[in-house]
Amino acid sequence: MVNKITVLLGDITTLDVDIIVNAANNSLLGGGGVDGAIHYMAGPELKEECRKLGGCKDGEAKITNAYNLKCKKIIHTVGPIYKDGKHDEEQVLRNCYINSMALAEQYRLENNLDEITIAFPCISTGAFRFPKARACKIAIDTVSNSSYDKINVIFVCYEELDYTIYREMLNINN
Ligand code: AR6
């Protein structure tokens, strides 16, 4: 079980947390949506570092520095492009959360930190068109079932609809 799960409505690039997660593409060289916003706000050095990583496969994750962002590190993960739900989309999305959490725990251990906070966007639910409610359930279930009890998770919703879906799924009423 993770330590604490919260939901936030806002822009993930503004957060002063240990790690933010980027919903990237296989090239890791930037794009639109949250990926574009993160690269823009972090500055051009991020692309230089990403260029050396040799891309990233669907469901996998890679960690970089955060440059001009307030957070300490960025974990880049590549969600599935949703087709019809019969192309392993759910498992790939699950892997994004599993692999991102594993990298976060590795970062925590390497830096001897008692506790860390990682912020996730709603991976795959924009340009990659994964159905929002289903993606939300996978995100919450996967993170909740992980065994990292020293990691706090923030789900960052940029859209009101996502914020409503996450709060409903987590039974948050206030
Ligand atoms: N902070 C938090 N969430 C955001 C922000 C932000 N600043 N901006 C957008 N979102 P998307 P994907 C939300 O399309 O579906 C890129 O071109 C957005 O409202 O960013 O995984 C990549 O390079 C949505 O809920 O990512 C890939 O090619 C969520 O982020 C492709 O898009 C995900 O939408 C990845 O597609």
**Ligand 1 and 122: CB distance under 6 A:** yes
Q: Of 18, 35, 58, 162, which residue is the catalytic one? A: 35
Entry pTM = 0.98
- Residue pLDDT, tens place only, 98-144: 999 999 999 999 999 999 999 999 999 999 999 999 999 999 999 99
Could you count the other beta carbons within 10 Å of the beta carbon of residue 172?
12
Q: What is the pLDDT of residue 3?
A: 82
As a whole number, mean pLDDT of residues 40-61 equals 98
pLDDT computed for residue 67 by the predictor: 98
Protein residue with its CA nearest to atom 23 in ligand 1: 31
pLDDT value of residue 57:
98
Whether 2 has a pLDDT exceeding 90, the answer reads no
Residue 121 C-alpha to ligand 1 middle, in angstroms? Answer: 7
Residues sharing a CB contact under 8 Å with residue 172, sequence separation 6 or more, in sequence order: 7, 166
DSSP letter string, 97-144 = HHHHHHHHHHHHHHTT-S-EEEEE--TTSSTT---HHHHHHHHHHHHH
pLDDT band at 23 (very low <50, low <70, confident <90, very high): very high
Provide, rounded to the nearest whole percent, the portion of the chain with pLDDT above 70. Answer: 99
- Residue ranges per structural domain of the chain: 4-169
Residue 173: pLDDT over 90: no
Identify whether the C-beta of residue 127 lies closer than 8 Å to the C-beta of residue 79.
no
Find where tokens 């936030």 sit. Answer: 8
Distance of alpha carbon 112 from alpha carbon 114, whole angstroms: 7
Work out the number of other CB atoms within 10 angstroms of the CB of residue 160. 9
Average pLDDT, the chain: 97
Q: What is the pLDDT of residue 29?
A: 97
Is 11 among the catalytic positions? no
Compute how many other C-beta atoms are within 10 angstroms of the C-beta atom of residue 174: 3
> Mapping DSSP to helix (H, G, I), strand (E, B) and coil, where does residue 11 land?
coil
Task: With a cut of 80, say whether residue 174 has pLDDT above it.
Answer: no
- Kindly state the average pLDDT of the residues 22-33: 98
Confidence (pLDDT) at 122 = 98
Q: For the domain with range 4-169, which CATH number is right: 3.90.550.10, 2.60.40.10, 3.40.50.300, 3.40.220.10?
A: 3.40.220.10
Q: Show the beta-strand stretches assigned E in the chain.
A: 4-9, 19-23, 61-65, 73-77, 116-120, 151-157
User: What is the structure's pLDDT at 25?
Assistant: 98
Instruction: Flag whether pLDDT at 78 surpasses 90.
Output: yes
